[in-house]
Amino acid sequence: MTPADPGNWWTLPSHRSWLDTESSRLLDFGTTLDHPAGGAAWLDDRGNPDLDHPAHTYITARMAHVHFLGSVQGRPGSRRRADRVFDGLSTTLRDNTNRGWFESSADATSPDAVKSAYTHAFVVLAASAATAVGHPRGRELLDEALDTVDSRFWDERYGMCSDTWTVDWSELDPYRGINANMHMVEALLAAADAGAPELWRERALRICDNVCRWSAANEWRVPEHFTAEWIPQLEYNRDDVANQFKPYGATVGHGFEWARLLVQASLVAGGRDYVDAAQSLYDRAAVDGWQPGPTPGFVYTTDWTGQPVVTGRLHWVLCEAIGAAATLGRVTGEERYGSDYRTWWDVAADYFVDRVDGSWHHELDSHNVPAATVWSGKPDLYHAVQATWISRYAPNTSMLAALQPDSD
């Protein structure tokens, strides 16, 4: 056994116990997950279904993912919750006419409905977890989801995934984006860990190669938006800076998220070494995004010189900073990551963890007061639960691999 290092909390049995307790508290939030239409509901501040929202496919998939993996750890109730919402991916949310998956339960009758790589990445992720735990429809759904990614989204010429189609697959939007590809890397690594062909792992690595190249050419701020030919569009959405999925500028949390994913990918990357790139992305995100002072936290976005644009604090940004610090700290042994990790968990505990109504506040303003400018409610558990797991377990190619019984 590796001796505990008080400078690195993740080695302390007491801290690991705290993480286990927090992940359990999160998974207990919102025991009523089911949307009447099928799939998972968007949860409000107290964990009740907010039926002003339809059942979103990405939230359904993320909730199935975390509860399937909760069941791997022996969490009573998680498997039943996962099974119930996962059923929505085979019924309400699946397009039985055109194949693939709707964005939400409202899309079957919407003339403006689309199909996105972002949503399909999460379907792959959920199906990978379902396959790993032996769900009777897991493998079938994973194969179908990967076939859809292959035939509709994967672009062999560029080694990237396209972004958005019309619902009948008749027209492909010229926009290309990094966000969907980032989650596709996570999903494809998990799929390979669940037994999918190695082709998918290699495609995840090709995406990583491209992102490293573009980021290195942009002072390690990740370009988010591109043309159909994958030319960066740095001024995209300059007039919509707080967009939920396509904000202007550099998204601080994505710098951290890519840093973590690159370390995970490096474990199966053969001759590729992504750790230096991961450290550069981490450093840039930390320098640009961190706001010290009496109400510390990370801004949501910056411009291309590192100046804050959207100064509100989103919980997922802090979650990814925590995860990246834990991952790089374990891999490199550098003390600075342990210091960052302690600081950022302090911020989470002091401001984001909601001990009254449960879960974490999903958004705070620049004074760390709960807000709802970008997000309302506490829709799902994905980022916060994974922050506790990434902190708790040794780095691996996916959360699926990290949480296996012999990985502790």
Q: Which residues are catalytic?
A: 254, 383
* Pairing outcome for strands 164-166 and 114-116: antiparallel
Termini Cα distance of the chain: 11
Of 295, 279, 217, nearest to 287 (Cα)? 279
Both structure tokens of 345: 């968990």
Q: Cα separation of 38 and 79, whole Å?
A: 17
φ, ψ dihedrals at 266, nearest 5°: -65, -20
Of 370, 381, 316, 388, nearest to 31 (Cα)? 381
Burial class (CB in 10 A: 0-12, 13-18, 19+), 134: exposed
Q: Cα separation of 308 and 317, whole Å?
A: 14
Both structure tokens of 354: 């909601």
User: Which residues neighbour 221 within 8 Å (Cβ) at sequence distance 6 or greater?
Assistant: 215, 250, 255, 284, 288, 302, 304, 306
